[in-house]
Amino acid sequence: MADGIPLNPMRKNSKRLPYYYSAGLPRFSVEDDSSILDEMPLMMSEEAFENEESDYQTLPRARLAQRRRGLGWLLLGAWKLLCGSCCDCLLRLCRRRKELKARTVWLGCPEKCEEKYSKNIIKNQKYNILTFVPGVLYQQFKFFLNLYFLVVACSQFVPSLKIGYLYTYWAPLGFVLAVTMVREAVDEVRRCRRDTDMNSQLYSKLTVRGKIQVKSSDIQVGDLIIVEKNQRIPADMVFLRTSEKTGACFIRTDQLDGETDWKLKVAVGCTQRLPAVGDLFSIKAFVFAQKPQLDIHSFEGNFTREDSDPQIQESLSIENTLWASTVVASGTVIGVVIYTGKETRSVLNTSSAKNKVGLLDLELNRLTKALFLAQVVLSIVMVALQGFVGPWFRNLFRFVVLFSYIIPISLRVNLDMGKSAYGWMIMKDESIPGTVVRTSTIPEELGRLVYLLTDKTGTLTQNEMVFKRLHLGTVSYGADTMDEIQSHIVRSYGQVSAQVTHQASSSTTGGTTPSGKSQTAGPRVRKSVSSRIHEAVKAIALCHNVTPVYESHGNGETESAEADQDFTDDNRTYQASSPDEVALVRWTESVGLTLVNRDLTSLQLKTPSGQILSFHILQIFPFTSESKRMGIIVREESTGEITFYMKGADVAMASIVQYNDWLEEECGNMAREGLRTLVVAKKSLSEEQYQDFESRYSQAKLSLHDRALKVAAVVESLEREMELLCLTGVEDQLQADVRPTLELLRNAGIKIWMLTGDKLETATCIAKSSHLVSRSQDIHVFRSVSNRGEAHLELNAFRRKHDCALVISGDSLEVCLRYYEHEFVELACQCPAVVCCRCSPTQKAQIVTLLQQHTANRTCAIGDGGNDVSMIQAADCGIGIEGKEGKQASLAADFSITQFRHVGRLLMVHGRNSYKRSAALGQFVMHRGMIISTMQAVFSSVFYFASVPLYQGFLMVGYATIFTMFPVFSLVLDQDVKPEMALLYPELYKDLTKGRSLSFKTFLIWVLISIYQGGILMYGALLLFESEFVHVVAISFTALILTELLMVALTVRTWHWLMVVAELFSLACYLASLAFLSEYFDRSYITTWPFLWKVSAITLVSCLPLYIIKYLKRKFSPPSYSKLSS
């Protein structure tokens, strides 16, 4: 696989070899021992070993900079560096940003704020009235093509340089600028209206004198704002009160984090307990909030009430916050504003996506520069042949203007219109319904992709979780044996019910469980399977963050269930931030134990017999990506027992649960089946144990420094020797047609990398089940490495593997990229597939950037969640899927699809057509300019190198527009193979990535065609004209128009009826214009036979040889696609 990469294998006498392959010893015990590393060098990085560890990341760039520096760098680069530094200094001075600080906010007293905070204004506009015109003009003229046309057009104001009529230069340029400015103005007006609507929304503000209405833009830090149900939250607030009896409410956050699940928010206890809303002004209280940050999932602050004795202090966390741009889903809420405008989480997280430029546009830009060089050289040759007589410098500039049509201004217009046409075709394709093109400037990129980087959950899989397996250590239950679990649950709760009835207990104590009796006997007597199932199901039904929500049939409003509500199954839905948790709760419902009610402090379950079990929630420890587990402490109301339940990933739970000999093996077995595993455990607590824990936990939550670490330390004190209850397996089903789509992409030569936050085993399993890794391929699992020595050894081991897929974790990837970036990427790029697991969103974007830098190939990223946005925006082409996780990825992407299987057609058919069509269109438009410039050169050389234009006025405008525009633009309808063939033979896609449709070779062929045809047309007209010079113009221009129409026909591979219409329409327009262009044509002459046969003869000589060459090439060296189309 990597024979070409000079990574030396370890020497046979390496002393470290036994340590590396020994299971019992660490792979590399002496970190960064350079004497040992020298025995097993990675050749590409030997130089790096001599440097300090802090220099590893900067080495490649530093060496590159050293190589580049010299006289050339001084002349070309130093001035850029100097100007750039000066500009940066000026910008920093002009736009000095205020430092963000922590703040103390008094309730309802904005005037008490220590400093002035930013206004609560939403502003998405790019320009204002003063900067609009300069801004748009700068964006247009910073590109070489447009700047070139501007300079040429401005030169016509100089009398000595004037070649023709002003409108022949300014009309096309003015048209392009007008279209651009109108488009920008429309977008700007839309943005302005949206901003005005948002800033003008009215909210109720609480004051000492009562409620008043204020605009969103007038809200200040410290204001008390009332937000009604289904109303947008206008600024970042701390949640003080709600109309809900539970003291909590749901909010929708899909516009902030892309997640469609509702989030539960909790009001500050001190203010929620106040008798009336007006009492908020009768207390003296303030909120201390940390400085504004990017992280939307964390918040640290304190609420302090000073006028009570003793002083009341409550810690504030993310569950007490209401971020701007979220929507209240239940009840009415009151909050105190802590951040406004630019300091809100939503604005801080809004990054302007980079302006993506397609590879085809860059290639055309290079060709344009080559044409400009040719134009200057041709002008110099003309002046040289004149003998540099007279004002030769002025003549040189006149020739540059004369030959300016070598670079046609219509190139940009045609390509932009073509891109819009491709986008329209993609969105109208019935085979991929729901597809949206959000970035219309890069459809050709879909036909040039080499790397496809995809998310797993929700992209390759459906993000629909189905409970598949329950393992208790000695017995395992699958989908076909769930009825046994149900019968055990019915039996165990039936026995409890019978005991309760016999003892004539009150109905509220109907939830006494066998588990309570067996807890004392647990260590001595082996529990029965029935009691173990009972405890496991009960733990799964209690340990979660799921809330049941009931739809009220009367008014259609959704509200959280109250204790006295009728808990019918018909109108119950579950809300949670994780679909895994919903799947678990639905499963407990299916086996007989149903979650019917939940609020902040209590939770109720319904048994198979219909009895209600009530639990008091004492503490909840939510799931985080760092802890990889969540826990809950509950007190059963009937018995008073306190139990700590916890569930989490096996890597996190293995060290927490009591010793067992089956957990690791069964986790591996489930992961190989493609199941997402969760370990469930419990621990019984005495009242004294819990009170001690609560006091330490409350104290840790109030600390202002290192709060998260202190809280985690207190919780970890509980997480010891927990009783292992069960292992659950949940399946995330594959999307429809994932396997054939991945096979199609692989056959097309696209290398697929799967980047996921999931664990290694599950990611590997999905890679196999989805056929991302074919059955014949080996998988190399990159061992976990933590330092340079381990990474060195593991890379050497990986180097010896051939044609195998790579699986690597995010932590190991980070270590490899730190020390061996170039070597690792070069090795990984030779793998047929790569799976990166435990990847953070930042790492995903970093991998995309690495591939772009090291391979110079085009990358495509595809995902469905908010965590994929950075990857999608970093890639050359971003595809978003509208999925269960919301629309954030879809809105941030260049192309939005509804299912992963649509990627195949999007790339194979639309990507192919867009690239092929744009390549043909771009080159033909350039040919159209080069042929008329060749004719001008011939004309000037014949007439003593005079800088006199051959065609003037309307002829030049008409040539680029009405006479040839429609047939040339109709090339956007051309296709070389049918869509069915492109999908049937994906191997055809490989040719596109080589860029053969638009290269210097194809460009040179078009240059030669232009020179040949231009020469024939001009020399033919000069040879055949008789008495008057006006006949030369008539003969040559008519032959030129006919030649262009015939060349379009020669270029077309598959005819469309609109192409025929365009050809006939353009010909009719030209013939009709002959009657009106009397100043250019002699009407009496153009209706004679000599004119007709001369035009026909010249046109035939210019086109016939090309038709013959095309026929011979098709016959003896046909392209790959022609074999299929025939």
Q: Are 794 and 782 in contact (CB under 8 A)?
A: yes
Q: Say if residue 41's pLDDT is above 80.
A: no
Q: Say if residue 364's pLDDT is above 50.
A: yes
Mean pLDDT of 844-855: 91
Mean pLDDT of 825-837: 92
Beta-sheet strands, E only, within 426-533: 436-437, 449-454, 461-471, 476-477
Please report the pLDDT score of residue 496 as a whole number: 63
Q: Say if residue 91's pLDDT is above 80.
A: no
Mean pLDDT of 846-873: 88
- 562 confidence band (pLDDT: 50, 70, 90): very low
Q: Say if residue 1062's pLDDT is above 80.
A: yes
User: 271-275, 497-501, 820-824, 876-880: which has the minimum mean pLDDT?
Assistant: 497-501
Q: Say if residue 4's pLDDT is above 60.
A: no
Mean pLDDT of 267-294: 90
Q: For the chain, how many helices (H) and strands (E)?
A: 43, 34
Residue, of 69 and 1081, whose pLDDT is higher:
1081
What tokens does 172 get? 């096309």
CA distance 737 to 752: 16
Please report the pLDDT score of residue 12 as a whole number: 37
DSSP helix/strand/coil, 6? coil
Q: Say if residue 835's pLDDT is above 60.
A: yes
Q: Say if residue 666's pLDDT is above 50.
A: yes
Q: Say if residue 885's pLDDT is above 70.
A: no
Mean pLDDT of 72-80: 44
CA distance 936 to 403: 7
What tokens does 705 get? 């420094």
Q: Say if residue 48's pLDDT is above 60.
A: no
Q: Say if residue 726's pLDDT is above 90.
A: yes
Task: Tell me the residue type at 944.
Answer: Y
- 28 confidence band (pLDDT: 50, 70, 90): very low
CA 690 vs CA 73, 620, 630, 643: distances in Å: 69, 13, 18, 10
DSSP helix/strand/coil, 574? strand
Threshold 0.75, pTM exceeds:
no
Q: Are 621 and 649 in contact (CB under 8 A)?
A: no
CA 160 vs CA 155, 157, 391, 936, 1055: distances in Å: 9, 9, 10, 19, 48
Q: Measuring CA to CA, which residue among 677, 673, 674 is closest to residue 664?
A: 677
Residue, of 406 and 58, whose pLDDT is higher:
406
Tens digit of pLDDT for each residue in 325-334? 889 988 899 9
584-609 burial: b if 16+ Cβ within 10 Å, else e: bbbbbbebbbbbbbbbbebbbbbbbe
Please report the pLDDT score of residue 354 as a whole number: 66
User: What is the average pLDDT score of the chain?
Assistant: 81
Active site residue 187: no
Which residue is associated with the tokens 């200057």? 376
CA distance 124 to 88: 24
Distance of CA 692 to the CA centre of its chain: 47
Mean pLDDT of 979-983: 92
What tokens does 927 get? 């040919």
Please report the pLDDT score of residue 594 as a whole number: 93
Please report the pLDDT score of residue 861 as a whole number: 95
Mean pLDDT of 560-576: 62
CA distance 541 to 539: 5
Q: Are 229 and 329 in contact (CB under 8 A)?
A: yes
User: How many CB atoms lie under 10 A from the CB of residue 1104?
Assistant: 11
Q: Are 303 and 316 in contact (CB under 8 A)?
A: yes
Task: Tell me the residue type at 588.
Answer: T
Strand partners, 227: 333
What tokens does 603 get? 């939770």
Tens digit of pLDDT for each residue in 627-657? 778 999 999 999 999 999 999 988 889 899 9
Alpha helices in 724-830 (DSSP H): 738-747, 760-769, 788-799, 810-819, 821-828
Please report the pLDDT score of residue 969 as a whole number: 92
Q: Measuring CA to CA, which residue among 385, 563, 417 is closest to residue 944?
A: 385
What tokens does 1067 get? 């010909």
Please report the pLDDT score of residue 241 as a whole number: 93
Which residue is associated with the tokens 């976990």? 784
Q: Say if residue 10's pLDDT is above 70.
A: no
Active-site option among 236, 261, 455, 650: 455
Please report the pLDDT score of residue 187 as a whole number: 78
Q: Say if residue 505's pLDDT is above 70.
A: no
CA distance 768 to 540: 30
CA distance 982 to 975: 11
Please report the pLDDT score of residue 285 as a whole number: 92
Please report the pLDDT score of residue 851 as a whole number: 93
Please report the pLDDT score of residue 570 as a whole number: 67
Q: Say if residue 59's pLDDT is above 60.
A: no
CA distance 880 to 898: 8
Mean pLDDT of 96-110: 80
All residues at 6 or more sequence positions from 626 whose CB lies less than 8 Å from its CB, including other chains: none
Tens digit of pLDDT for each residue in 218-263? 999 999 999 999 899 999 999 999 988 888 888 988 777 656 667 8
Please report the pLDDT score of residue 862 as a whole number: 94
Phi-psi region of 331 (alpha: psi -120 to 50; beta: other; left: phi over 0): left
- 497 confidence band (pLDDT: 50, 70, 90): low
DSSP helix/strand/coil, 997? coil
Q: Say if residue 458's pLDDT is above 80.
A: no
Element (H, E) at 836: strand 833-837
Q: Say if residue 46's pLDDT is above 80.
A: no
Mean pLDDT of 490-497: 77
Mean pLDDT of 424-439: 91
- CA angle 715/716/720 to nearest 5° reads 120
User: 272-286, 386-400, 820-834, 880-894: which has the minimum mean pLDDT?
Assistant: 880-894
Please report the pLDDT score of residue 89 as a whole number: 58
Percent of the chain with pLDDT over 70: 84
- Taking each helix axis as running N to C, give the angle between helix 359-386 and helix 912-942, from 0 to 180 degrees, rounded to the nearest 10: 10
Percent of the chain with pLDDT over 90: 35
Mean pLDDT of 367-395: 88
Mean pLDDT of 44-71: 38
- 815 confidence band (pLDDT: 50, 70, 90): very high
Alpha helices in 943-1056 (DSSP H): 954-960, 965-969, 979-984, 989-993, 1000-1024, 1030-1051
Q: Measuring CA to CA, which residue among 778, 796, 791 is closest to residue 821?
A: 791
CA distance 518 to 723: 13
Mean pLDDT of 79-104: 61
- In this structure, is the dihedral angle defined by the CA atoms of residues 579, 583, 589 and 593, taken in order, positive or negative? negative
Alpha helices in 50-110 (DSSP H): 59-68, 71-72, 78-94
Please report the pLDDT score of residue 742 as a whole number: 93
Tens digit of pLDDT for each residue in 938-958? 988 888 787 788 887 778 878
Mean pLDDT of 188-192: 83
Q: Say if residue 98's pLDDT is above 50.
A: yes
Please report the pLDDT score of residue 1124 as a whole number: 65
- 560 confidence band (pLDDT: 50, 70, 90): very low
798-827 burial: b if 16+ Cβ within 10 Å, else e: bbebeebbbbbbbebbbbbbebbbbbbbbb
Mean pLDDT of 491-510: 56
Residue, of 506 and 103, whose pLDDT is higher:
103
